Structure 1
């Protein structure tokens, strides 16, 4: 999955020419982002203070604003955000004096709850980040990851000095020295194949090949869907995936 294209829950900013927010007759409104289906509509931003309300300028596709009391994401209040110290870090990451927020997926509770505000940094432009004590994928903390040694390999895989991680999941039984990433979902070592962090039972690691763009793969005898062995390779499967190689 390409997370840079995954904008679930977000709104497109267009204020009076460049944002979706507008102020009229003592109230604040947000122009609907679903105009193709319902036509042009303006949704009232409840609890917005008219005089202090302003759009927060930044470089991400996100309806974000503040007044003297609240931070607003779309028409909703961002839970616990403190407006006087709220500032942009990078991409979809923001912070105030108390919390770090990831606003990539919408939602009003977008705190990275254990993040240390003072030392938090984005590792790359995907969903990897770290602070002095922990590494994070999105909103989730990676169990046991060493932030001093952690490297983001791509948008799905990362590693520190001891373990590989698929998103926030650690592959504990993977042989680190012989590990080889096969696809956004599959990884193997000299003996085993894993789908995310789950062992693909019985797969021949030396012959295993991921198929298509999703969860399928095959070795020299069998076909697999995620970690499940689907039995001997069928002619249909061979025509669809293997013969195209």
Structure 2
């Protein structure tokens, strides 16, 4: 089972960041003054930096950034790396994972020629803001004329999710989504789950009229009537017979210790 993290519900919506979102890099004296989080800075003697790493050949006067993307009069960047072929004059940020110019869509892997730029649309921001006001990547969806695309924290380029009906597609929370035929967990179809009756306990556990579900699997051993997820620890659940962490059975003592951790 994969580890997942809590996040707020994101709604099925188109995002488009205008030029007003672009920011100039903040000047800090050294990397020791750098707050947590991924940000572009101007450090005397090093020029423009992405965190502590210099952005090679960046033009300081025209450099602007938003999320992991940036541009100056000559080039476009993601995480401090040049996006080859991107046009600074028309470059815009779509969400945490995607940007575009007048011709193409870009991710951390560069130009994405499999995506159709004329119909491409992101369906969420691709991040949530945590209690420390830091932006954290989450499972993200986008669409074009071909259908649904998915990105995750370590994704460099999008994964196509086959067979999804975009007219009925909707997000349930940061991990679960559905269309009229399938329940999805992080872009993976949950075999035999019923989208018409599915509800999520949290980002790891859910149920339909016949099954308890953990991530992208049916939890066949679970007692349906007594199953409950732990509100304060999204990895944990229990029923009258067993205790679970990410759907795997664990001893009661381990469950209790994990549940009571602060």
| TM-score, normalised with respect to structure 2 | 0.65
Residue 130 in structure 1 maps to residue 143 in structure 2: yes
1: CA distance, partners of 2:111 / 2:6: 22
2: CA distance, partners of 1:14 / 1:153: 36
- Deviating above 4 A after TM superposition, structure 1's stretches of 4 or more consecutive aligned residues are 15-19, 21-24, 110-113, 238-242
Which of 56, 61, 66 is the aligned partner of 2:64? Answer: 56
Which digits, 9 at most, give the CA deviation of each residue in 1:121-162, with x for residues without a partner? 222334232222212232332222122221122222211111
1:38 maps to which residue? none
* CA apart distance, 1:85: 3.8
1: CA distance, partners of 2:236 / 2:40: 43
1:197 to 1:33, Cα distance in 2 relative to 1, 3 A = same
- Secondary structure class of the residue paired with 2:94: strand
Answer whether contact 1:55 1:64 (CA < 8 A) is retained. Answer: yes
1:19 to 1:32, Cα distance in 2 relative to 1, 3 A = closer
**Unaligned runs of at least 5 residues, structure 1:** 5-11, 35-42, 103-107
Residue 99 in structure 1 maps to residue 120 in structure 2: no
Which of 199, 202, 208 is the aligned partner of 1:189? Answer: 208
- How many residues are paired up? 212
2: CA distance, partners of 1:203 / 1:125: 35
* CA apart distance, 1:207: 1.7
| TM-score, normalised with respect to structure 1 | 0.69
What is the CA RMSD across the aligned residues, in angstroms?
Answer: 3.6
Q: Which has the higher contact order (CA 8 A, sep 6+)?
A: 2
* CA apart distance, 1:222: 0.6
Answer whether contact 1:123 1:152 (CA < 8 A) is retained. Answer: no
2: CA distance, partners of 1:13 / 1:2: 31
2: CA distance, partners of 1:2 / 1:195: 15
- Secondary structure class of the residue paired with 1:158: strand
* CA apart distance, 1:193: 1.8
Greater Cα radius of gyration, structure 1 or 2: 1
Which of 21, 33, 40 is the aligned partner of 2:51? Answer: 33
Which of 56, 64, 71 is the aligned partner of 1:46? Answer: 56
2: CA distance, partners of 1:148 / 1:236: 44
2:41 maps to which residue? 20
1:171 maps to which residue? 190
Which of 82, 86, 95 is the aligned partner of 1:81? Answer: 86
